[in-house]
Amino acid sequence: MNIGNSTQQRIAAQVNAFKVAAIQMASGPNVAGNISEARRLIANAVEKGARLVVLPEFFAIMGMTELDKLKVAEPAGSGPIQQFLSDTAKQHKIWLVGGSIPLVASTPDKVMNSCLVFDEHGVQVARYDKIHLFNLELGNENYNEAKTIEAGNQVVVVDSPFGRIGLAICYDLRFPELFRAMKNIDIIVLPSAFTETTGKMHWEVLVRARAVENLAYVIAPAQGGYHVNGRETHGNSMIVDPWGRVLDRLPRGSGVVMGEINPSYQASLRSSLPALAHRTLHSC
């Protein structure tokens, strides 16, 4: 059910502060091994009180080549990766954002890079397919996601017990118009696998900017470290509050980043600085 914006905001303002977690990994080509590591880290986050847990981009597979993810792509609604996400959310009675996983695309030689959200009953309540595909040609680093990934075309926001959650993935971070199009979001989740080259200069400033300009909490879990395939990802998974404060971060390696979301604090900020209400260029 889609609750009206004003009603949803009142509900969010009445929710007590709650803990959230961003999971950082350095995934490899073995799906079963990555799932085992994700299971351990999620359990750790739950032990620390997290009610909303977010995994990084492609948490289940960082292959030796870009083609490896095609071999493990799952049809929507079935497969071991999706079953793991559903079972884990239900087991721990949490909302679980499954980072992103490869789902079967309409093009045979491509996948969808999809972020799936499961509620505390293990029911999938949302799916977002990554819209912006990363392309970098810089020295020895060359990436072109469009070769193996089919772009999505729908902005996705999900109503939850924690407020309105906007879904985005990695390279989407560079396009502020995406987040403006979400409208009235309380939380942004941003599963990522930023390269070290771009991440060391741009990751934190962009994550904090998205939080400040939307007066929203940002939960930004990332891949972080050296991968078997030789790739280096930036890490620095973080949770940022609507004022741009970094509540917690993890520079490198596998682990859990924790933060507390306080809807009353967020509401007071939006009342004190009503920048969202002052927008005039709504078509931009």
Closest CA to 173 of 220, 242, 235: 220
- Cβ contact 202:165 at 8 Å: no
Task: Report which DSSP code applies to 239.
Answer: E
Burial 136-160 (b: 16+ CB within 10 A, else e): eeeeeeebebeebbbebeebbbbbb
Cα within 13 Å of Cα(11), Cβ side: 14
Contacts of 254 (CB under 8 A, 6+ apart): 24, 25, 26, 37, 41, 224, 225
Which residues are tagged catalytic?
A: 57, 130, 170
In a 3-state reduction of DSSP, which class is residue 54? strand
Strand partners, 138: 141
Burial 173-208 (b: 16+ CB within 10 A, else e): beeeebbbebebbbbbbbbbbbbbebbeebbbebbb
**Interatomic CA distance for residues 235 and 223, integer angstroms:** 5
**Interatomic CA distance for residues 163 and 159, integer angstroms:** 6
Residue 18: is it exposed, middle or buried by C-beta count within 10 angstroms (0-12/13-18/19+)? middle
**Interatomic CA distance for residues 198 and 147, integer angstroms:** 20
**Interatomic CA distance for residues 68 and 66, integer angstroms:** 6
